């Protein structure tokens, strides 16, 4: 599973799964393949808010031939395939539901064995998030997923897939995607902002440094009063991080992700306040419940940080 919740006992593990201690790197990579030449384009098809031009050796076929992608439902789909065989290779275009705080649906993220490689790529008429190195259970094909977010919802998505013996068709699929034309909507600037990345990285670095120190002290302590004091200090650190985050202006594509991080940080503060009150109370059940709340809140913080990587912000 891509999204994981660390155990409270793993106090040496860093909070920052995605953000480097020294801050973000705003990664922006250009599409590696240019659109195919005009002489190679003889047909066209309309996908979700996009016009696709494709070469003569490709065909538009029944979408039911496309292999199911675990956790990902593509609606209003169009399927293009080399030679008209959609089972082993193709380009599936349509719409996907947006995740709570990332361009990828939560159900899809839950199926991933590891975080994908994320690139912000320049296409002929737009920018897109490209997710590659996708590792999915029971999906024995190479898969590259492109997402073009829409402020109105119903993001456009294009999935290039191929079985390993037909991997050469992926380049043709990438060329089709690179030359797409937007229909009925304007392009969205997805380029990560280095200034924002640096400020957010500093904020989280400050929180993380104290968090690791204080949690290590909590693990070493057996005195309820000490555990209570340390938990209260952690609550104060999360509260300070929430205040700093509230004045940070995110770029438009990052707004939902920052909001999710802010909400998770507030929940972590509340959980540590509860843990601080439960430590000296002498009730093992109340303390265990408070510990579980801390674990869940910390997991939410980690998940929100992971989502920044899905927006093109990667660690150094």
pLDDT digits (tens, 9 = 90+) for 216-236: 998 888 888 898 999 999 999
**DSSP SS3 for 82:** strand
Kindly report the number of other CB atoms within 10 A of residue 233's CB atom.
Answer: 17
Domain-ending residue, one of 148, 163, 182:
182
64, 154: one domain: yes
44, 178: one domain: yes
206, 228: one domain: yes
Is 150 part of any domain?
Answer: yes
Kindly report the number of other CB atoms within 10 A of residue 283's CB atom.
Answer: 12
166, 68: one domain: yes
161, 275: one domain: no
148, 197: one domain: no
**To 10 degrees, what angle do helices 224-246 and 194-220 make?**
170
- Alpha-carbon torsion angle 54, 55, 57, 59, nearest 10: 20
Task: Report how far Cα 195 is from the mean position of its chain's Cα atoms.
Answer: 20
Share of the chain above pLDDT 70, in %: 85
Enter the DSSP assignment of 254: G
Task: Report how far Cα 207 is from the mean position of its chain's Cα atoms.
Answer: 22
Q: What is the pTM for the complete model shown? A: 0.84
Share of the chain above pLDDT 90, in %: 67
89, 146: one domain: yes
67, 92: one domain: yes
pLDDT digits (tens, 9 = 90+) for 155-182: 999 999 999 999 999 999 999 999 999 9
Tokens of 215: 């949690």
* pLDDT greater than 60 at residue 28: no
Long-range contacts of 240-249 (CB under 8 A, 24+ apart): 240/207, 241/203, 241/204, 241/206, 241/207, 241/265, 242/266, 242/269, 244/203, 245/200, 245/203, 248/196, 248/199, 248/200, 248/203, 249/196
Domain-ending residue, one of 182, 202, 225:
182
Is 253 part of any domain?
Answer: yes
How high is the pLDDT of residue 103?
93
Q: Phi and psi (nearest 5°) for 148?
A: -115, 100
Q: Give the count of domains, the chain.
A: 2
Laid out side by side, the sheet with 117-122 consists of 58-61, 75-82, 89-96, 155-162, 142-148, 127-132, 117-122
Domain-ending residue, one of 119, 154, 182:
182
Kindly report the number of other CB atoms within 10 A of residue 311's CB atom.
Answer: 23
Average pLDDT over residues 117-124: 95
44, 159: one domain: yes
Query: By residue range, what is the domain housing residue 144?
Result: 38-182
* pLDDT greater than 90 at residue 127: yes
Average pLDDT over residues 137-160: 91
Distances in whole angstroms, Cα of residue 3 to Cα of each of 154, 169, 288, 303: 23, 31, 23, 6
Give yes or no for a contact between 112 and 131, defined as CB atoms under 8 angstroms apart: no
Q: Where are the alpha helices (DSSP H) in the chain?
A: 106-109, 169-178, 194-220, 224-246, 255-278, 284-309
Report the C-alpha gap between 184 and 154 in whole angstroms: 13
283, 204: one domain: yes
Is 1 part of any domain?
Answer: no
Q: Count CA atoms closer than 13 A to 170's CA, side-chain side.
A: 18
User: Mean of the per-residue pLDDT values for the chain?
Assistant: 86
Is 107 part of any domain?
Answer: yes
Is 57 part of any domain?
Answer: yes
What CATH code is carried by the domain that includes residue 221?
1.20.1440
Cα end-to-end span (Å), the chain: 24
Report the C-alpha gap between 103 and 2 in whole angstroms: 15
42, 177: one domain: yes
* pLDDT greater than 60 at residue 213: yes
How high is the pLDDT of residue 194?
94
What CATH code is carried by the domain that includes residue 56?
3.40.1000.10
Residue 21: pLDDT band with limits 50, 70, 90: very low
Is 47 part of any domain?
Answer: yes
233, 130: one domain: no
Q: Give the helix/strand (H/E) hosting 185.
A: none
Least confident of 49-53, 153-157, 262-266: 153-157
**Closest Cα to residue 58, out of 164, 157, 166, 140?**
166
Is 276 part of any domain?
Answer: yes
Distances in whole angstroms, Cα of residue 194 to Cα of each of 25, 102, 251, 291, 313: 7, 19, 11, 36, 9
Is 222 part of any domain?
Answer: yes
How high is the pLDDT of residue 6?
35
């Amino acid at each position: 599973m891509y999204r994981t919740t660390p155990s409270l006992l793993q106090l040496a593990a860093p909070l920052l799964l995605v953000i480097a201690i020294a801050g973000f790197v705003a990664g922006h990579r250009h599409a590696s393949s240019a659109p195919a030449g005009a002489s190679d384009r003889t047909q066209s098809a309309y996908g979700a808010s996009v016009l696709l031009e494709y070469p003569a050796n490709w065909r538009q076929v029944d979408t039911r031939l496309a292999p199911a992608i675990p956790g990902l439902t593509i609606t209003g789909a169009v399927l293009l395939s080399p030679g008209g065989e959609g089972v082993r290779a193709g380009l599936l275009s349509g719409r996907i539901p947006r995740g709570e705080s990332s361009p990828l649906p939560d159900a899809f993220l839950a199926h991933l064995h590891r975080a994908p490689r994320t690139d912000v790529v320049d296409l002929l008429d737009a920018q897109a998030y490209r997710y590659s190195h996708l590792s999915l259970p029971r999906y024995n094909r190479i898969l590259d997923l492109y997402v073009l977010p829409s402020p109105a919802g119903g993001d456009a998505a294009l999935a290039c897939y191929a079985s390993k013996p037909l991997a050469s068709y992926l380049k043709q699929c990438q060329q089709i995607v690179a030359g797409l034309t937007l229909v009925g909507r304007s392009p969205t600037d997805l380029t990560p902002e280095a200034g924002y990345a640096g400020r957010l990285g500093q904020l989280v670095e400050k929180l993380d440094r104290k968090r690791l120190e204080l949690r290590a002290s909590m693990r070493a302590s057996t005195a309820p009063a000490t555990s209570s004091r340390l938990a209260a200090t952690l609550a104060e650190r999360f509260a300070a991080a929430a205040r700093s985050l509230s004045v940070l202006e995110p770029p438009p594509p990052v707004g939902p992700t920052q909001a999710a991080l802010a909400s998770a940080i507030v929940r972590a503060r509340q959980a540590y306040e509860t843990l601080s009150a439960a430590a000296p109370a002498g009730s093992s059940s109340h303390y265990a419940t408070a510990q579980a709340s801390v674990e869940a809140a910390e997991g939410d913080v980690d998940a929100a940080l992971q989502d920044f990587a899905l927006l093109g912000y990667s660690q150094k």
